[in-house]
Structure 1
Amino acid sequence: MKIDPALLEFAKNMRHTATDAENLMWQILRAKRFMNLKFHRQHVIKLYIVDFYCHEIGLVIELDGSQHGMEDAVEYDAERTKFLEALGLTVVRYWNHDVLSRKDVVLEDLWMKCSELKNTSP
């Protein structure tokens, strides 16, 4: 399936308008700084743009702001997660607030998830 060029352009633009939480997470993940894993940001996967993606272990990281607590957003996120998981990917979600104020807790959880996935990857 060919990726929509407009979606690729939108993803590129999103890299320049990242939230504070996304910028902080990118500083941690970029250049194989986290567990020597290569992450991409604002990465297109079929119909969706995900915040961070690691192909090696099939991990999608989504950072959510308060708008993701709204009922329609919760449904959309659940649908999206189901779609990505059907592709064999693992999706983890963290609140922007937690990334900014409880970074150590978020990173510990992410470390455990990545370790688990590294051990089950072929």
Structure 2
Amino acid sequence: MPRRNLRSHLPYDKTLIERARDLRSQSTPAENRFWHHLRQMPCYQETQFNRQKPIGTFIVDFYCHAYGLVIEIDGDTHGPDDAKRKDTARTAWLESQGLRVLRFQNREVIQNIEGVMSVLEKVIEEIKEEAP
């Protein structure tokens, strides 16, 4: 299984564990749709993906340690400029940890799940090719 050049253990704020658990039980329709389709993909059979995973001071929507991949499903609250700045800073920090971040909009997931999964498949193939 390919692994990116990651620390074996990413830092996380332990106080976020309960909040992550709550978020898993309150998934959005787009997150549920994505999770359902992700679980049908061959990559899901090859490795483990987590939902609502604490990393650093953040809780990411989906995470795969083996691929060093974070997947975020962004809703309407990610549109305002302040939220975009926070998302940019969040992505920069995650990337500084050696992770690759993919972002999809809720409407993309709901209206074009096949396209979203196709992008995900291509990114995973790129990651596999990059592995030593």
Shared fold per TM-score greater than 0.5 = yes
Match of 1:113 among 105, 109, 123: 123
How far apart in 1 are the matches of 2:58 and 2:126? 25
What is the CA distance between 1:2 and its match in structure 2? 6.5
Q: 2:38 touches 2:117 (CA, 8 Å); kept in 1?
A: no
Match of 2:95 in 1: 85
* Residue 66, structure 1, aligned to residue 44, structure 2: no
Match of 2:36 in 1: 27
* Residue identity opposite 1:8 in structure 2: I
Note the alpha carbon deviations across 1:27-72, whole angstroms, 9 max, x for none.
Answer: 1224x84423321000011111000000001000000011101111
Which shows bigger deviation, 19-28 or 50-59?
Answer: 19-28
* Residue identity opposite 2:84 in structure 1: V
Q: 1:21 touches 1:100 (CA, 8 Å); kept in 2?
A: yes
* Residue identity opposite 1:6 in structure 2: T
What is the CA distance between 1:25 and its match in structure 2? 1.2
Once superposed, which parts of structure 1, at least 4 consecutive aligned residues long, lie more than 6 Å away?
A: none
* Residue identity opposite 1:19 in structure 2: T
Q: 1:64 touches 1:95 (CA, 8 Å); kept in 2?
A: yes
Task: Rate the CA distance shift 1:2–1:39 in 2: closer, same or farther, 3 A.
Answer: closer
How far apart in 2 are the matches of 1:58 and 1:2? 14
Q: How many aligned residue pairs are there?
A: 121
**Per the alignment, in what secondary structure is the counterpart of residue 91 of structure 1?**
strand
Task: Rate the CA distance shift 1:2–1:97 in 2: closer, same or farther, 3 A.
Answer: closer
**Per the alignment, in what secondary structure is the counterpart of residue 67 of structure 2?**
coil
In structure 1, stretches of 5+ residues that fail to align are none
Match of 2:86 among 76, 92, 95: 76
Specify which structure has the bigger relative contact order, considering alpha-carbon pairs within 8 angstroms and separated by 6 or more residues: 2
Match of 1:14 in 2: 23
Q: 1:11 touches 1:43 (CA, 8 Å); kept in 2?
A: yes
Q: 1:57 touches 1:121 (CA, 8 Å); kept in 2?
A: no
Q: TM-score normalized by structure 2?
A: 0.85
